[in-house]
């Protein structure tokens, strides 16, 4: 990402920081392998670098994700058009450093401490900054399906648009905008004719999972049920019903560290009706809009009907755990990342 393409809210936030504090803060072009630019603050005794994380939508899942990265080097710096006083307090509590275009800030490093909260941008200014953000296809349902497909099966990076579309279950016309958006934001680069590579798959995954609960999952329109007994799932192989375990049950199978409180399953869209009927019989499930069992359509590997594994990809399970905001699930999510995801992400 070049300085010319940086979010206007980021530019204004840095300008306001400099005007309000007298700090010398400078945006620096991203290195080739990075999707984000850096912010450098020069002090009398040292220099502090931050990796800019620009967001218009401050979700609980985003804050959890950034909290889990507070030990990263260089540290992340959340920059947004506007943070409320509640959001600012929550960020400080979680150790998340931030700036916004209104002048609110939390910076904490050797020789540096800034905390400003409660300032409000003019409504028209905030709206203008959000509207002026660079157009991105990355948050659409189709693009999120494509991103997850590429993270789950990196070999598809070198596949044809048609093969990627078939696996992600999206139209052929939606592949180019999704890939162009990844390239524009520094997540994808071409290394040879027809060969593509993700530059920072971990950061791309983190982007994906904080949008998952609001941008993609609601589009799947899952159905909820209540089971006749809480342990009905223990001896069931969901593949017998063309389905896979997600959520708590998948986390239990992966880590053996979480007692499932809910049951989540994914089935191929073409077999969803039959899968649902079979699972309902197996678990004596009854429809219940607030039930602890949820059955959703699969949105990856759609070029094959029968799943090879009884478990959905660990990356999806991690996103589901993070979205709960439950402390016990967050601890398991960290273990799951270390055990199952870190090495796979490194190879993407």
Lowest mean pLDDT among 44-53, 60-69, 122-131, 254-263: 122-131
pLDDT tens across 273-310, in order?
999 999 999 999 999 999 999 999 999 988 788 788 99
Question: Predicted confidence band at 56 (pLDDT cuts at 50, 70, 90)?
Answer: confident
Domain at 141-217: CATH code = 1.10.10.10
pLDDT at 1 exceeding the cut of 60? no
What are the sequence ranges of the domains in the chain?
3-131, 141-217, 221-347
Pick the residue with more confidence: 259 or 138?
A: 259
Residue 124, pLDDT score:
61
pLDDT tens across 146-203, in order?
999 999 999 999 999 999 999 999 999 999 999 999 998 889 998 877 789 999 898 8
pLDDT tens across 332-343, in order?
999 999 999 988
Specify burial of residue 21 (Cβ count, 10 A radius: 0-12, 13-18, 19+). middle
pLDDT tens across 212-259, in order?
998 999 999 999 999 999 899 999 999 999 999 999 999 999 999 989
Mean pLDDT taken over the chain: 88
Closest CA to 78 of 119, 110, 36: 36
Percent of the chain with pLDDT over 90: 66
The listed range with the strongest mean pLDDT (27-36, 56-65, 69-78, 262-271) is 262-271
Residue 23, pLDDT score:
94
């Amino acid at each position: 990402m070049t300085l010319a393409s940086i979010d206007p809210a980021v530019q204004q936030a840095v300008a306001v920081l400099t005007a309000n504090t007298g700090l010398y803060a400078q945006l620096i072009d991203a290195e080739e392998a990075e999707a984000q630019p850096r912010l450098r603050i020069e002090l009398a005794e040292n220099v502090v670098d931050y990796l800019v994380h620009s967001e218009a939508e401050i979700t609980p899942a985003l804050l959890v994700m950034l909290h889990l990265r507070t030990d990263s080097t260089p540290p992340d710096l959340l920059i947004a058009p506007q943070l409320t006083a509640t959001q600012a307090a929550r960020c400080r509590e979680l150790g998340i450093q931030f700036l916004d275009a209104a002048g609110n800030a939390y910076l904490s490093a050797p020789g540096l401490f800034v905390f400003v909260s409660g300032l409000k941008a003019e409504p028209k200014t905030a709206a203008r900054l959000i509207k002026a953000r660079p157009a991105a296809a990355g948050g659409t349902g189709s693009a999120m399906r494509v991103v997850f497909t590429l993270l789950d099966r990196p070999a598809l990076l070198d596949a044809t648009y048609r093969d990627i579309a078939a696996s992600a279950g999206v139209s052929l016309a939606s592949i180019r905008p999704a890939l162009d958006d990844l390239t524009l934001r520094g997540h994808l680069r071409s290394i040879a004719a027809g060969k593509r590579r993700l530059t920072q798959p971990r950061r791309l995954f983190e982007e994906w999972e904080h949008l998952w609960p609001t941008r993609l999952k609601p589009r799947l329109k899952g159905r909820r049920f209540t089971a006749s007994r809480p342990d009905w799932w223990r001896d069931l192989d969901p593949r017998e019903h063309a389905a896979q375990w997600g959520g708590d049950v998948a986390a239990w199978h992966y880590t053996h560290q979480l007692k499932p409180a809910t049951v989540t399953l994914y089935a191929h869209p073409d077999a969803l009706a039959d899968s649902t009927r079979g699972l309902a019989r197996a678990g004596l499930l009854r429809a219940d809009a607030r039930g602890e069992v949820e059955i959703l359509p699969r949105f990856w590997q759609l070029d094959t009907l029968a799943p090879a594994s009884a478990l959905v990809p660990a990356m999806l399970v991690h996103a589901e755990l993070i979205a709960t905001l439950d402390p016990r699930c967050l601890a398991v999510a960290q273990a799951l990342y270390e055990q199952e995801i870190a090495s796979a992400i490194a190879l993407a």
